[in-house]
Chain A
Amino acid sequence: MLLAGLAAAVAAVGVGSIPATAADKSPPDLTGFWSLEAAPHANDPGLIAKLPPNTVVLDDTGITEFPSGDYGGLKPRPEALAAAQKWKPQDEMTLSRVCAAPSVIYAIQGPFPFEIYQTPTLIVFKYEYFDQVRLIFMDGRGHPPADAPHSKVGHSVGHWDGDELVVDTTHLAPATITNNGLDHSANVHMVERYKLGAGGKTLMATQWFEDPEVLDNNGARFIQWEKKEGNYVFPYDCDPSFATQYQQIGAPEGAGK
């Protein structure tokens, strides 16, 4: 209902998909269905230049993944590293774990599409991956108190910096950073910066995060999506019986029945 209402509101005001120009002070319209761009592409130098110092840009966006023990240049603190080294892939293949959604620290770079609905005071990101939905408050509010409930999508506030959407996210529940045992804490802080490419058919972003409890440096990713008209996000509806399927591999006939 909320999404339908937002879509209707956006349509009602006739917001187009043309990036703002110097003569048009309204922010760009990011509305649409965005699919991860699988083809090789260069990072956007302008966005990369705005990353804070002591930041490593992870090369695991999209279909790429780090093997066990490779954290892409992130520098885990000793306790976090010890925990990561104890992790085994099979740990995730249980009924209780296999449908545990990652937080948006990891989730937003994956090879799944998302939809954006945009109004002046609220922007909605609706992801296919694990059916996650983020509300980006654009009305000037701040984050809730530090002890407010955390979630896998966190609490996000945004503002426009020229033609770039800057999103600041806190209150993220601990979850994986690199999908191989390295987890962030509940105090991770993420800043994303989105901008449209020429023609408005490409969306680029940097996702930066800091987590001093876990990391001695900061991490970032460059992510790029392409607009695909007429598509929409499918329901994910994760089914944990996948873990049972895995556990039965190589089991004797009739085992587990």
Chain B
Amino acid sequence: MLGKLLVAASALFLLGQGTAQAHHSFAAFFDSTKVIKIRGTVTDFHFTNPHGTIGLDVTDAQGKVQKWKAETNAPVVLMRRGWSRTSVKPGDVITIEGWGSRDGKPYLRLRAAFDANGKPIGQPFGQSDG
């Protein structure tokens, strides 16, 4: 049912990929060298500026559920990359790849998302801007 936490992969370098910040600073909150991937069940999706958020219940290898939050680019940016407020719904099982929080919280900045079948949700950041 619930997904499992995938391995944090520091070897995943995203050269040439940027991070469209809105109001608060990406550089201050997230570590651009700490790329992580999580799979879980969506609990909520807020599609509002300055950033959207996706709540995700992620089950680790010991079966413990941890509540994660993924911050997205500003929805005005996401809309030009094929996202809408119905792209993700509570109950969906999805995988999110992104940059981890500097403070160690279960929080990341979304770079790319995939549905349960591995199909990309919208376009990953860096392929189409603005």
Contact = CB atoms under 8 A, between A and B. Distances in A.
A129 to B, nearest CB: 8
A67 interface: yes
Contacts, number: 106
B129 A250 contact: no
Interface string B36-68: 000000000010111101000000000000010
Contact of B49 (A237, A248, A250): A237
Contacts of B28: 65, 67-68, 89, 180
19 contacts: A35-B129, A62-B18, A64-B18, A68-B27, A92-B23, A93-B24, A98-B24, A110-B20, A111-B18, A111-B21, A111-B130, A112-B76, A179-B25, A234-B76, A237-B48, A239-B50, A246-B107, A249-B69, A250-B106
Q: Which DSSP category, helix, strand, loop or mixed, fits chain B's interface?
A: loop
Interface string B1-29: 00000000000000000111111111111
A236 B76 contact: yes
B27 A65 contact: yes
B50 A238 contact: yes
Interface of A: 35-36, 38, 62-68, 89, 92-93, 98-102, 110-113, 128-130, 179-180, 228, 234-239, 241-242, 245-246, 248-250, 253
| Interface size range of chain B in the complex | 20 to 34
Contacts of B50: 98-99, 236, 238-239, 242
Interface string B96-115: 00000000011100000000
B25 A89 contact: yes
B27 A242 contact: no
A112 B27 CA distance: 18
A65 B76 contact: no
B79 interface: yes
B77 A111 contact: yes
B21 A110 contact: yes
